Amino acid sequence: MAPRYALVPDQHGPGGRLQPLTEDGTPLGPPEHVPALAAAVAEREVADRPRWVFAATDGAYAPLLPVRLARSHDLRLTEPLLLGQEGRFGEPRSLGAAWARLRGLPVPADLPESAAEDDQDGLFAPDRLQLPPGTDALEAVVAVHAEQLRRTAAIADPAERHRFRLLAAAESAGGLLAAEMARDGLPWRSDLHDRLLTELLGPRPQVPGAPPRRLAELAAELQRSLGGRPFNPDSHGQVLRAFADRGIQLGSTRSWELRRVDHPAAELMIRYKELSRLHAAHGWAWQAAWARNGRFRPEYVVGGVVSGRWATRGGGALQIPRILRRAVVADPGWSLVVADAAQLEPRVLAALSGDASLARTAAQGDLYEALAATAFHGDRSKAKLGLLGAMYGQTSGDIGPLLATLRRRYPAAMGYVEAAARTGEDGGVVRSRLGRTCPPPSADWLDLTEAPETAGEAGGRSARARGRFTRNFVIQASAADWALALLAALRRRLAALSSGADRPHLVFFQHDEVVVHTPADLADRVAEEVAGAAEEARLLVFGDTPVRFPMSTTVVDCYADAK
């Protein structure tokens, strides 16, 4: 029985090494080499339920799948969280870098992301750890892990320390889940995708690179409508010139600007841009590259955004146009449980700031409705606009009076975001609820603000921009904390619900929304677990708060039918 195991796969073959550890990272006996790592890990998972410690989830866990592990500690994901906590920004985060810092060796720079991309066979996995030649990887994993636990224990404030441990655990769980979702994939009906593209764009072009029929038609109509001279509708310069030739001066080709133009060509242009984007970003080429054998497999990048939101690499999984949700259909006999957190960010603000009055409006139901009733004479749109403006740092438009109202009625909440903004303007850093740290100002920001006599207006603009960033960071990053806790809890609950090939599993995660693919007869149970996980996340992240985080959950066959 060991509470933790360090795990390092062999460079070649299915074997690997395991090192039992105590809860504080001290080795328990000698390391063990096993010829079949996946089987050995699966066995210990059942017997001990340990926390698995590895350099990076993609290198150590992905090859073990479909073995499912409950808990892990990912050194690569935890290192930047700790560096931020310690005020050491921009230092390399690989295992090798952490090891070098520990041993006083020269610290290797992180490899650029592109170096990881071609690593289809994991051939370069050992190099990606960035360990000096001849270093024993298991020894490094054990040492860096113990050091990370020590650094975590050094966080002075007990409550902050506790929350940071939650953050590291949740981030690591995110790593496990991202690897699982990449493997399982999102159900994707290429036939329906194809039909949709054909309806909108015309038949798939036979000649690769040729524009679909509808785009060619629209381009021709545009040309006629603007006087017959040929121009490329994909070229902003040529579009501006074509409109100018008809006496229409445009500041840009943005669709909101085109929408105000009273000329038939404007509407054609808007339509062209919509369809051309669909074709370029999520058309047949995308389908061939990303949606194979009934599954779309995005590559998630856990913590890829400084706020802790996930990013994806290739495939644009987090920017799929809503219309394409029609192609996401559960397998026969299965269902999709689609759940999103309603009005997550304003609720996070209420919980973060401890504003009793705002918390009351966020205690249930439609937050904006409640806000409107108490402060905006029932005008929901004003309530929403005002609150969003406060969270984003908006200053222009007619928002002034709305912000004034909010400041009067919710001084604690508004004070919270304004304090975060001031910290950012002054060059400081802010943290999320669980302790994720925002990056410091960039070097050119310092140039602009530290020499005001030369920087002048640009310096002020830059400082205000950074104020908007830190203002939004505390909310966006704390919302990401909550979402990560939700994911970890839901993942655990789904595993408890059922095992084997027919188990419900997460297939999609987008900031504040999750999709679970489940055998249809378990769908209602899954929906209950979603609600339970949201409540669990609330308690873990915000503790004693009256704010509630309701999920809007639907059980559907097709993603497009949700909500």
Partner DNA sequence: TCGGAGAGCGCC
Partner DNA sequence: AAAGGGCGCTCTCCGA
> What is the binding site for DNA (CB under 7 A)?
232, 234-238, 252-256, 258, 260, 273-274, 277, 280-281, 286, 301, 304-307, 309, 311-316, 318-323, 340, 385, 388-389, 392-397, 399, 465, 468-469, 472-473, 476, 510-513
Q: Are strands 513-519 and 16-21 parallel, antiparallel or unpaired?
A: unpaired
Smallest gap from Cβ 168 to DNA, in A, equals 21
116: CB partners within 8 A, 6+ apart: 124, 128
Whether the Cβ atoms of residue 371 and residue 359 lie closer than 8 Å to each other: no
Question: What's the angle, vertex CA 439, arms to CA 434 and CA 444, rounded to 5?
Answer: 165
Give whichever of 187 and 303 is closer to DNA, judged by the CB atom.
Answer: 303
Give whichever of 3 and 427 is closer to DNA, judged by the CB atom.
Answer: 427
Cβ count near 272 (within 10 Å): 21
The 3-state DSSP class for residue 50 equals coil
Whether the Cβ atoms of residue 22 and residue 50 lie closer than 8 Å to each other: no
* DSSP H stretches of helix in 336-379: 344-353, 356-361, 367-375
Smallest gap from Cβ 237 to DNA, in A, equals 4
The one-letter amino acid at 15:
G
The 3-state DSSP class for residue 360 equals helix
Q: How far apart are CA 235 and CA 257, in angstroms?
A: 16
Smallest gap from Cβ 216 to DNA, in A, equals 14
Give whichever of 69 and 403 is closer to DNA, judged by the CB atom.
Answer: 403
Q: Could you give the dihedral angle defined by the CA atoms of residues 58, 63, 66 and 69, in that order, rounded to the nearest 10 degrees? A: -60
Smallest gap from Cβ 309 to DNA, in A, equals 7
Both structure tokens of 560: 């497009």
Q: How many CA atoms lie within 13 A of 402 on its CB side?
A: 23
Both structure tokens of 229: 């001279």
Number of H helices, E strands in the chain: 23, 14
The 3-state DSSP class for residue 100 equals helix
Whether the Cβ atoms of residue 391 and residue 472 lie closer than 8 Å to each other: yes
Give whichever of 103 and 277 is closer to DNA, judged by the CB atom.
Answer: 277
Give whichever of 155 and 385 is closer to DNA, judged by the CB atom.
Answer: 385
Which residues partner with 515 through β-bridges? 338, 508
Smallest gap from Cβ 187 to DNA, in A, equals 18
Q: How far apart are CA 480 and CA 215, in angstroms?
A: 39
Both structure tokens of 41: 């890990």
Smallest gap from Cβ 442 to DNA, in A, equals 11
Whether the Cβ atoms of residue 455 and residue 464 lie closer than 8 Å to each other: no
Give whichever of 61 and 286 is closer to DNA, judged by the CB atom.
Answer: 286
Q: How far apart are CA 32 and CA 356, in angstroms?
A: 55
Smallest gap from Cβ 78 to DNA, in A, equals 20
Smallest gap from Cβ 360 to DNA, in A, equals 24
Give whichever of 128 and 309 is closer to DNA, judged by the CB atom.
Answer: 309
Smallest gap from Cβ 513 to DNA, in A, equals 6
Smallest gap from Cβ 385 to DNA, in A, equals 7
Give whichever of 4 and 511 is closer to DNA, judged by the CB atom.
Answer: 511
Which residues partner with 299 through β-bridges? 313
Smallest gap from Cβ 391 to DNA, in A, equals 8
The 3-state DSSP class for residue 164 equals helix
Give whichever of 64 and 242 is closer to DNA, judged by the CB atom.
Answer: 242
Smallest gap from Cβ 53 to DNA, in A, equals 27
Smallest gap from Cβ 328 to DNA, in A, equals 13
Give whichever of 156 and 207 is closer to DNA, judged by the CB atom.
Answer: 207
User: With left for phi above 0 and alpha for psi between -120 and 50, is residue 188 left, alpha or beta?
Assistant: beta
53: CB partners within 8 A, 6+ apart: 4, 5, 6, 7, 21, 25, 72, 73, 75, 141, 142, 145
Give whichever of 64 and 197 is closer to DNA, judged by the CB atom.
Answer: 197
Give whichever of 39 and 220 is closer to DNA, judged by the CB atom.
Answer: 220
Q: How far apart are CA 299 and CA 313, in angstroms?
A: 5
Give whichever of 312 and 405 is closer to DNA, judged by the CB atom.
Answer: 312
Give whichever of 123 and 465 is closer to DNA, judged by the CB atom.
Answer: 465
Q: How far apart are CA 497 and CA 526, in angstroms?
A: 8
Give whole-number Cα distances, 102 to 4, 26, 96, 98, 210, in Å: 21, 16, 10, 6, 56
Q: How far is CA 181 from the centre of its chain?
A: 14
Smallest gap from Cβ 353 to DNA, in A, equals 17
